[in-house]
Structure 1
Amino acid sequence: MGRELGAAPLRGAFADPLGSVATVIAVVAILALVAVLVLLARERAQGRRAKALLVHARELRHRYDALQSVTREGVLVQSLGGRVLDLSDRAAAILGVDAAASVGRAITDLPVVVVNEQGLAMNPAAVLGHRTGSARAGYSVDSELVGVLRPGTNATQARMVQVATQLVPAGDGDAPAVLTTLVDVTGRHEVEAALSRSETQFRVAMENAPIGMALVDPQWCVVEANAALAELLGTSVEALRGYPMSELSAAEDREAERREVRRLLDGELHRFSLEKRYQRADGHLVWVALDAALVRTPDGSPDHFVVQVRDSTESRLQAEMLTHRAMHDPLTGLANRTLLQEVLQSVLEQPGVVERVAVLACDLDGFKEINDRYGHATGDELLVHVAGVLRAATARRGTVARLGGDEFVVVVQDVDGPKAVFEVAAAVHAALREPVRVGRRRLTVCASVGIALAEPETVRGGAPALLAAADAAMYRAKAAGRARTEVYDASMALPTGGLAHELADAFARGEVLAHYQPIVDLADGRVVGYEALARWQHPTLGLLLPGAFLPHVQEAGLAVPLGQLVATQVVEFLARTQDQSRWCSVNVSADQLGDGEFATTLLQEISRHRVAAGRLVVELTESSLVASGTRIRHELTQLSAAGVPILLDDFGTGVSPLSYLRELPVAGVKLDMSFTSGIPDDPTAGKVARALGALARELSMVTIAEGIEHEEQALYLHRSGWRYGQGWLYGGAQPGDPLR
């Protein structure tokens, strides 16, 4: 019974074996299905991830291509073995190869030629590929500048390329790759080379410049200087660096310099020029011409100054010498007429002039005889001696001047002017009583002296009136016996209306006459013509030169009648002359030409006396043409068309002479005697005379030099191209008929 109970379960368990198998199969099937579903899901997920990665890769490639299209850098990717893995279009263009055809090829197989900066060939693999010692991923190699030659080009046409390489981990699968960047810097390199050349050229030019140069910071301190500036200042270039420019200046010149620098910094000026003084290291002052320009940054801020410093000491001294010569008599060193008139006019404008000022006119008696007998050299020595006498007699109480020839003037300024001027006159007479030793000769000369006190009547007329008064007194002294002093008073002149009446009567009485000074051919000294000069044979004052009465003629309005009178005398004079080849010139003023009747009257006289028009020459002074109008030009054109030659007098001293030569019908020029008097001692006067002569000859004009006093001047002027000459060497103006 017990065995039966134990066996029953076993029988129950195996009672339905097919059901158990089915169950197992079902479970396995379910598990397989789940596994399949899981695998399918995993595959779908992997597919989606692969698709996403592909899309991302495409996006990265697009971004890479877009980046390469706009970047200046070309990219070359290589394996460590030198095989091209990737090549951007920019890199292909720089190297001059085809990008698609280059991928997969060895770098050494590409048709690329690389040279260094000296033009020597280099191994492309060594430049573009992997380099020994750079196996560690991420290791960067310093960039290198090389030249890349494209097919058919030479070394001078190489493109300059900046090359840099770097190892990239897992760039070639699992292995690192070499990433090479290429940047075409040809343009930048050319600019840098040009800048370098410019900087080198500027530095060489600055270092070797013959004038001082410096670069100065906005605080006006020296940054760099050249040797010429250091030499000018008596120091070294090293000592100048960092030194304030303003402290180089003389103390009294610093403010003007600071003012100009401030104007540059404020934008009021772009550059400035200043003549000033610098103090050398040894304490001496030098005159310099300072030129400064401000260089600004692109945003307009001051960056630095470029300064040039030229030594102007010598040129300034020469200018001062020329100014002195223009205002002083070259023989005696005394003031000339121009300076005298300026000084006198300035003095007369000061208060209290009546008590403090007087004018003394001095003319030597018998000087012409000495000059004619012993020669001009002796006469010059005598004039120099008289100049010394006048200086000593004046004793720093005024200004001594030589007006020309043997005529001197002293403007006396003293607390007691009348007393001082008489003391000066007495001292002159006393000194001239002593014979003068000239060479082996002892000569005696005396002087006629005229004094004009600064009285209200004479002061109102200004400097010309006071000088004319002194002249009138001097001529009275000559007429009264010479070697004496006369003081101007009302009996020596009339009021303006009376003077005009006296001059008009003088014309009617024949007291105003033309005197004639010879003009010669400088080649042989032959007289070819004369210049007519007006003289007034005054019944009481004696023979008056133009300086004594022409100012009164102008004031009286008699300039036109005087000119017509002299011109008429000259025409009659030419009609009487036997030598028909000689000519005579007459001075004509702007007033006479502007009158409208002068040219007509002159041509009528020429026609009436049957004188060839070419024998009468009209001389014009440049100063008379400054304000010339159309009427004056019409008169000149009328005279020229009728055959009357026109000469430009005082050539070289007036204004706009070139415009006169171009615009007026001028046939010739007359060199002003101020240039002649400077020959041969004044080189500048000689150069000017030679240049003016060349200009006149170039324009096919007649050339006459006046004021010739000795043979050396005549010879120099003739060699310089001047054809004719006149002056004391050939004789002064004489009355009568010297041409007959």
Structure 2
Amino acid sequence: MDLIRSTSPRPLSRRLRPLAYGLVAVIGLILMLTWGTTQVQVTLAGFLNGESVWSKAQKQAVVDLLGYAETGDAARLAAFHGNYALLRSDGWARDAIASGHYDRAQIHQAFQRGKILPQAEPGMIFMLRYCIGAPHMREAVALWRQADGPLLQLHGVATELAEAYARGQPEHAWLQWQMDRINGLNHELEPLTNGFSLEVAQGATWLGRVLFAAVFLSAFVASLLWMRTARRILLRIRGTEERYSVLFNSAADAILMIEEESGRILDANRTALQWTGRDVDHLAGEQLSSFFIPLLHRADGAVTGELRGPDDELRPVEMRSSVTHWGTQSVRQSIMRDITERVNLEQQRRIASEALASIAEGVIIAEADRRVTRVNAAHIRMTGFTVQALQGLKFDDLRCLPDGTSLPDSVWEIIEAEGNWVGEVRSRRMDGSSYPELLSISAIRSPDGEVQHYVAVINNISAAKANEQRLQYMAAHDTLTGLANRAEFERRCVQAVNAADRDRGMAAVVFIDLDAFKAVNDSYTHAIGDQLLVKVAERIAYELGDKGVAGRIGGDEFTVLLPNLHSREQASALAGRLLTVLAAPFGVGDYELALSASIGIACFPLDGTDVPTLITNADAAMYAAKTEERNAFRFYSPRMQADARRRIALASELRKALAENEFRLVYQPTIEMRTGRIVAVEALLRWFHPQRGLISPGEFIPMAEKLGLIRRIDQWVLQAACEQMYAWDQAGLPPLRMAVNVSANWFGQANFVDEIRMLLQARRLAPERLMLEITEGAILRLGEEMERTLHALHALGVSVAIDDFGTGYSSMSYLKLRAIDYLKIDQSFVAGLPDDGSDGAIVEAMLTLCRRLDISPIAEGIETEDQHRFLLRAGCVEGQGFLYSRPVEPAVIAQLLNAGRRQGSSHLRLVPPEAS
């Protein structure tokens, strides 16, 4: 950098030097006044501290002298002399300083006895020597001196008392007279002491005001003088600055003045402010590096870089710097020139030269005879061929059509006519392998239209081809099992039906649905269920082999297409084998799971002439197998289609039944077997269809569970049962226990217990009058959630009964829960009583179990007197069945209860067992 010397005859530092001196003088004056004020404050602190010690010593001297006069205690006399010595020492120091003839060491000792701060001693000596006449100081010293006389008299009293006590015990009257003298002298001293304290405090206040005024006026006057001097100097500098500013701001280049030592910007011209988008206040003090990004340091000293402007816009600039001196300050002057146009031209040339090397696609440049002259890096990565390896070769020598034939002459004819050809080829690598390639060839012509070069752009489409194949596979197969999905299965079915129709042959669609698969998902998680589906698919595919197509069309539903059949027996043989292999246990993770399947078969052309009809009819046949037997297969018959349509209609009408209140409850009494008294009723749901009449719960409840309506039905039943209990209570009937069946779907919900609580509170019903019945299978399926719900119901007071006990799972660990209140013995065990010994043994074992676990048993399905007597002897508490009553309307229950109150109770029939 060039070093430019300043030609100013008077540097700015010299011109501003008087201002600096004046500022130093003002600051020095303020510091000196502040120091003086501090010393005065220390002195006042010493006075106040001494006054406090002096007042305490005077008062303590009086107290000690009175104590001595009263008791003759020598210690009290010694204490008095100590305080008196301190008071006299203070008085001596005061008078010695005021006279001007004193020894500083003696004064220091006196101040030490008076506990005066050492820092305050010089100030106190000065004030006692020269400021006795100051306001409040004069009065305070006068009061201080007036106290000397009473103190001297106190000393005389002390002397007389000491002499008297030395001769013996003085007379009481004389001692009282001396004590009165002491009190009198104390009364003289007290106003003097108080006045002295007041004058010292007021003097401190007065002196503080004087000091503040002195400091303020001095600082004000000094500041005025400094500002006047500064104004004169700045006016002289302003003319020079304006001339410099005109030249500085009129420059077309950006100019920055930068402090050499710190790198901070001192000033910038108008062009620099425009380029950076900032004003002088925001630019000054910043580092140049905060918005200038150097990119290249050239040998001639120039620096090429980018200047950050408004909105972070970057402007390419070239900066040259030189160093000058502003007085004694070293300043770097940086001049920036906009080189946007030059950079754009260089960038275009660089892009043109680097495009070939940096493009992601492979590029080949060949002469008019198609011999390679240049390739880019991407081509080398794709093929392994460098320019040297391709010397003398035509680029089309290494490529052929996908079928292996050479590129035809039509390719070059298209390029000649249209200038470009694009197509898929197979290209050979240097190692001899090949890959699919998308090739685009363009011709570069001379001004007269002659081909000078060919430019070929290549893309390796191996991944794209693989993805295409993968997508085609995914579009046709189930992602979980790998079997054909619904769309692919139907497409293959169309092909098979067309072939069978053409050849007058037969084809079959087999529909497979797993039995109780939902229980697997609920009990072992959906992840286990998915693994089970995969293994089921493997067994179906293995058993089918290459004789057909297996598919999964959703959930646990599988389909099999059997083309080219000769008879229906071929389909039934496969169905039988599938039932066998699917019934074998599956090992899934740590579990061994066993299940079965229901299979339906529909054949072309007997059971349908199109694919949708065949699949629908096979589904109907499967449903018939599941409904009638399970773990079986059925061929389609027209009756099944009618049943399927009836199920679809039932699903639609079931939703309507909830909305239009077509449900009704009937109630079957539960009696106390020993007395025949009605103790409870069970609410049973009935659907009275407007057209079909009464529909059995066994027909519509499974449909409600499948449609997700069972929870709403449960809520309706429970609400209607509670309303009926409330109505019976209002009618004055004896209170009964109401039993309501609840599905596991609602029982396992988080807010189930809260809904029960609110329903009972709304009808003002005691929780003990409600009994909820749930099957043992549901208890085991819900697991921990069920246990929490049972405990919550027990805490609420609602009873829980296990329905159909002994017909489901064999585990009885849940019976240990205290929340189980009742156990209902299923009618399948009661029906054989008393003749069937096995049923009798099972029932007696159940009753023994109930007694041991403190659970109340309820027998279901009692229809004969012999069954009643057997159960009564075995210890059964309550019973329910046609022997006592069928399910009846609420009004009949009211009549039975009223009749029971009038005539007494009996275990005999309450309602004749009419045929249902």
Query: Structures share a fold, TM > 0.5?
Result: no
Structure with the bigger percentage of helix: 2
Structure with the bigger percentage of strand: 1
> TM-score, normalised to structure 1's length?
0.39
Larger-gyration structure (1/2):
2
